[in-house]
Structure 1
Amino acid sequence: MRSSDDRVYLAPVDHLRAVAAVLVVLYHGCQLLSARIEGRRFVPATDWLYSSNPAATLVFEGHTGVALFMVLSGFIFTVGAYGKPVRYGRFLTNRLLRIYPLYLVVALLGLATQVSLPTLQDLLRILTFATPTQPYGGVFWTLCVEMQFYLVFPLLCRVLAERGPGALLRLLAAVAVLRALVWLSSPAPAPHTASLYLGLAGRIDQFLLGMLAAWVYAHHRDRLRARWLRPLAPAAAVALLWSFNQVHGFVSDSPLKLLWSGAEGAVWALVVAVYVANRPAGGGGWPSRAAARLGEVSFSVYLTHFMVLTLIGEHMTGRAYGWLPGALPPVWAAFLVTLLVALPLTVAVSFVTYHAIELPFLRLRRPYLGPAAVAETPRPRQREGYRGR
């Protein structure tokens, strides 16, 4: 990105974006295509995949890539804006330029798959991201949550700069209490947690924890370089996801699920802070550059992978399955089809959509940060073309 733009360049962050995008693609591919290979539609309540293998549960619970994306949003915005005044109008304009162009293309294409002509209500739902039922809309709800976070980020960043991390920790505690009160006050005999989990009320923990990780990174970077932290951070994330899978957490409405967003955000905040602190921005050779390039187009991967999976599920599952060894369990077949067919195809499409649709609008963004109001820790170098999500 340009030095005046709104993102700090960190190659390690691009690596983590790539991880998040790949996890989401593998997760959706395994869950959806395994059912299609068996000749049926996927029903989460009864068809969720479980395993005692921690590596498998990382894929089966790959929806956690969304949490990683949200933690990264809080982290990168805060590293870039900490201690500086944010010009609110320009900030929101930049966010719209970041999200809306590709989102509108994908949403309108999904609308075009319907037989009937779109109504005004359909168009209004698209403008507000309220289109999860269309073929490619399974991830649109996260964009709505992101936009809600953008509305409050400048205030939260100022609070962090002026009041310190304790203010955000108290906010985390208050949100947890209020969320529990909402759940307890539900008139339903068995209150659902989905509405909380799929909205900012249930996900703000992850943005706040990303902001706190940025504060720790800025003030205690040397401590994050402790050798024992490097294996502990990813191990904690995998162990937490394995435990979540073993108790059938995603399809559960246990009150313990009210704590899941914070726990999930905490382990990813640890992973982000430790990885960024320990990974040189310019090192790693071609694998690092390749991962960074994938991370650069991760938003396109995120928005277009449903289109690719829908194509494979509707028209190519049988053919792709036929390429694989006989007697292969459906879940393994789905994993291989996703890894060898859906993921490469999605990445290829994403490079096209990034350069043709995203990048022209990204170049229209304007600086939104004023001069530093407090002394800052030196920030990492920046790069042309870097962008959010």
Structure 2
Amino acid sequence: MKATQGEYFVGLDHVRALAAFVVFTWHFNHVNDGHLNGPEAFPFSILAEGHVGVAMFMTLSGYLFAKLLDGQQIRYIPFLWNRVLRLFPLLIVAFAVVGLMKHDANSAGGYLIQLARGFVLPSWPNGGWSIAVELHFYLILPLLLAISSKRPANILLVLVVSMGFRILWWWEAGTVQSFAYWTIVGGIDQFVLGIFAFKTREWMAGRHLNAALIGIGLLVYMWGFDSLGGFYRMGVYPSENPIWIIHPSIIGLTFAALIAWYDTSFKMKDKGLSGVIAKIGACSYSIYLLHFFVVFRFANQINSDVIALSSFPMVFAASLICFLCFVPFAFISFRLIELPPLRYRKHYKRTT
């Protein structure tokens, strides 16, 4: 999808498409409350624990805005206005549909309070909580870019602060999973590492062996994470395991390196298969917010009426088919709900 001032990066839309599929499969894998995971899922563990798809989106946001604003300054009010136009029309539609489906006149007041709290707390439905985290990132983006403008490594101090907070929280409360996953306390690692990856992107340009080793390392790590019980079954939920202190950083670091490698090592074209994948990526926001309405029904219906989804390879195949079937509806949403407000975007960059 083109940015406000016409920039378009096909490869980054490929990453969006992948992130959307990872999240879709994560929820598809909830079939019959199965959460199929464990050693048997390798090398699909990253999909079996597809909550990391949200981290992929956040890492990509950090990378993309660093790329868009490289060497330039933000006109902050127009920037925020553009982000509202980009995110809120579809978000409001999703909230309205959830309200109509799950709430009546007696519970409407409580639902509106839930939505108001969602600007601070992770209470927005249909994955909207991550949009609130994204908004928190936008609020501090100018500061993050200023910190990294002259010496990119300076921004890594933010990771020290966020990880220190997670350590203290785990020490005092005995668990930090909720903070690490649902809030900016963990998400900031991925945004920051995305920015850092762009600033140091030459480290990964053309380094295919490095990218392969990082990718394999990520798959092995996710296999180990999955084998420990993963998101839901690592002891009690939320987990008391201290791995959640470092999990956001590990995921953000590997995704950031791979995004930088993909963006700098290949020249993607907006046609053919590359163009099709890019178009899926362009409507990834609609996929993300709207798939909650159908994904669980898809999985349960297939499991009960078509074929037992008793192994993760079977879940993967069924999820891919359902994902591709859902894409046209997401594309319609993209065209009718997401695109029209963008005509009111304002230029928000000025060259330094």
Asked whether the two chains share a fold, i.e. TM above 0.5, the reply is yes
Contact 1:97 1:365 in 2 (8 A): yes
CA deviation map 1:277-309 (0-9, x unaligned): 1110327x5111111111110111111111112
The percent identity for this pair of structures is: 27
Shift of the 226–344 alpha-carbon distance from structure 1 to 2, 3 Å rule, reads closer
1:366 to 324, 346, 349: 346
Distance 2:278 2:242 in 1: 38
Structure 2 residue aligned with 1:247: 228
Tell me which moved more, 123-132 or 235-244.
Answer: 123-132
1:152 to 135, 140, 165: 140
**Per-residue deviation, 1:361:** 1.3
Superposition RMSD in Å: 2.5
Shift of the 266–176 alpha-carbon distance from structure 1 to 2, 3 Å rule, reads same
Structure 2 residue aligned with 1:26: 25
Shift of the 8–51 alpha-carbon distance from structure 1 to 2, 3 Å rule, reads farther
Distance 1:2 1:268 in 2: 22
Q: Structure 2 matches for 1:117-266, cutoff 5 A?
A: 117=105, 119-129=108-118, 137-162=125-150, 164-186=151-173, 190-217=174-201, 220=202, 224-251=205-232, 252=234, 253-266=240-253
Amino acid at match of 1:202: G
Structure 1 residue aligned with 2:259: 272
Q: Structure 2 matches for 1:321-332, cutoff 5 A?
A: 321-324=304-307, 329=310
CA deviation map 1:166-225 (0-9, x unaligned): 211122112211221122123xxx4342133210011100000000011012xx26x521
Tell me which moved more, 123-132 or 151-160.
Answer: 123-132
Amino acid at match of 1:354: F
Distance 2:37 2:209 in 1: 32
Amino acid at match of 1:307: F
Shift of the 319–166 alpha-carbon distance from structure 1 to 2, 3 Å rule, reads closer
2:332 to 322, 347, 352: 352
Contact 1:7 1:80 in 2 (8 A): no
Structure 1 residue aligned with 2:285: 299
Contact 1:132 1:139 in 2 (8 A): no
**Whose helix proportion is higher, 1 or 2?**
2
Report the 3-state secondary structure (helix = DSSP H, G, I; strand = E; otherwise coil) of the residue aligned with 2:207: coil
Shift of the 78–115 alpha-carbon distance from structure 1 to 2, 3 Å rule, reads closer
**Per-residue deviation, 1:67:** 0.7
Q: TM-score, normalised by structure 2?
A: 0.89
Contact 1:304 1:349 in 2 (8 A): no
Structure 2 residue aligned with 1:343: 323
**Per-residue deviation, 1:50:** 2.0
Contact 2:28 2:296 in 1 (8 A): no
Instruction: Could you tell me which runs of 5 or more consecutive residues in structure 2 were left unpaired when the two chains were aligned.
Output: 235-239
Amino acid at match of 1:290: V
Shift of the 261–192 alpha-carbon distance from structure 1 to 2, 3 Å rule, reads closer
Amino acid at match of 1:19: L
**Per-residue deviation, 1:127:** 4.7
Instruction: Could you tell me which runs of 5 or more consecutive residues in structure 1 were left unpaired when the two chains were aligned.
Output: 36-41, 374-389
Contact 1:87 1:368 in 2 (8 A): yes
Q: Structure 2 matches for 1:281-292, cutoff 5 A?
A: 281-282=268-269, 286-292=272-278
